[in-house]
Amino acid sequence: MKADMGRWPQGKTWAGMISVNLDGEFFSRIYYPEIDVDSVPEFALMGGHGIKNGLPRMLDLLEAHKLRATFFIPGQIAVRYPQVVREIASRGHEIGCHGNWHENLGTFFFCREVIPLMKAQRSGKIISMSSGGGVIGMEHLCHYATAKAALFGFIKSIARELGPYNVHANCIAVPTTVTPGSSDYDYDDDAEAEIPEIPLGRLAYPPDIANMTLYLSSSASDYVTGQVLAPNGGKR
């Protein structure tokens, strides 16, 4: 599925993406809490080697070819390896927050690391991914909707603080989205049931979210900050 990326600088018409998990023990910490990951050589090697050796090599390679990249960093990784966030930012790359085990602290820790750098350079764009559940509410999931709505207040607050430094902060309220992994779960029927409530008559697809992210990260949104944008096809 090809998204309409618009007109790119210098006539460029395509972009490549390489996905690398620099912290291999991350999911082991989530799914196997009974395991002392740091004491198991196999797990420790996957994570430690990537952070200590893989990342510097990757940054050097990008610099050698004069390339800039976007790194999506889970909040837990920012807490565990704060020097990684600082090094990536100091090399001139963008950083996106990936959440923190579905806890809002991830956004807080991420912002704590990057805001001083953005203030110093007097520019920056913070884009937080939340959920449409925080906008419309969710029956039987009030704890989830409350946590997602909390991000709205956080982003609006730091946007007011960071405006004088030309640092923007916005939030995307992601709706139910069809992805290649959707069929692995049992919510297909529930998702389809949402369609009659959506004026545009369909669920969201990844390019719908990606294009909104592209807009907020581009100069087209230079007068947009402290906003919660919901690419949800008109659902309220």
Residues with catalytic annotation? 144
CA angle 27, 56, 59 (to 5 degrees): 100
Place of tokens 């602290």: 105
Nearest to 49 by CA among 21, 76, 73, 74: 21
Sheet holding 124-131, edge to edge: 124-131, 167-174, 228-229
Fill in the DSSP letter of residue 53.
I
Q: Do 234 and 198 contact (CB within 8 A), yes or no? A: yes
Fill in the DSSP letter of residue 127.
E
Dist CA 68 CA 94 (whole Å): 8
Q: Would you state the structure tokens that stand for residue 138, as one six-digit string?
A: 């969710």
CB atoms within 10 A of CB 143: 9
